[in-house]
Chains A and B, each alone.
Chain A
Amino acid sequence: MRVLIRPKEGILDPQGKAVERALPALGFEGVEHVRVGRMVELEAEDPVRLAELCEKLLANPLIEDFEIQTL
């Protein structure tokens, strides 16, 4: 399983901004809305409880959204 965690929409993401600002200097024009998050890979016996696990530990629901992907 894979969990993608990203800053909630509307929350300032200074890491994303820093990446975005660095790109033109490297010749990459026209890249916008960069958001930097986290990815967690894991193997779970009981995937049913994965959302609960994400809410309790992997993500902070106040500031982050998460998405669970089955590989």
Chain B
Amino acid sequence: MIWGVLQFPGSCDERDALHACTLASGEARLIWHEDRDLEGIDGVVVPGGFSYGDYLRAGAIARFSPAMEAVAELADAGGPVLGICNGFQVLCEARLLPGALLRNEDLRFVCRQLDLLEVDGPETGDMGGDSAHRPLSIPAKHGEGRYYAPEPMLDELEANGQVAYRYAPGQNPNGSVRDIAGVRNESGNVLGLMPHPEHAVDPLTGSTDGLRVFRSLERFAA
């Protein structure tokens, strides 16, 4: 499978994402934000950083880029789309994922290794359930990662199996509602999370659990 990794002015994790995609799935290339052509790309990563300086709200301007139009089309067609950190914010702003990300509850930037629990979705098959797999050890680094959605929407997300990752008990770093670290769309092909799986792909840095996140979307590649 070939991943495309978007690059906005202000992206900063696109190189790690490229490396992670290559390790996880075999091949990856960068896509400039003004490029609307996803020819030959099976799935897209919207990486972390501060796209367009995070002006107005994180992700608010990036969602209007030509590359994001192409990503929306890929998402609608059922192709895999993974948003990490700022990429998660962009996907929420683009309404490809439900909810929004707000300033961390304590107003502090958080940077630490955390445990994430995988939550089963309708399309995740072999993930094996909340308790069947040990928690994923993945770092988080963000100042605006407090996941928010209104209560009725949260109930609906849980009923649909759209909560993808939760912070392990006692490790919620930002005040996210219901400890939510990541969500997926209804069909499961669009996934976003605040922690950084692309920084957890090599034993040298302590964990390779991030690879699981990339591979969980491979089933959606055409």
Contact = CB atoms under 8 A, between A and B. Distances in A.
Our verdict on whether A and B bind, yes or no, reads yes
Interface in B25-40: none
Nearest to A64: B57
A71 interface: no
Contacts of B56: 57-58
Interface string B92-111: 01000001101111110000
A42 to B, nearest CB: 13
Contact of A11 (B60, B99, B106, B148): B148
Q: Which range holds the interface residue count of chain A? A: 10 to 19
Secondary structure of the B contact surface, majority rule: loop
B93 A12 contact: no
A31 B60 CA distance: 32
A11 B102 contact: yes
A62 interface: yes
Interface in A40-71: 57-58, 60, 62-63
Contacts of B103: 14-15
Contacts of B149: 62
Contact of A63 (B102, B104, B105, B175): B102
Nearest to B153: A62
Interface of B: 56-57, 60, 64, 93, 99-100, 102-107, 148-150, 175
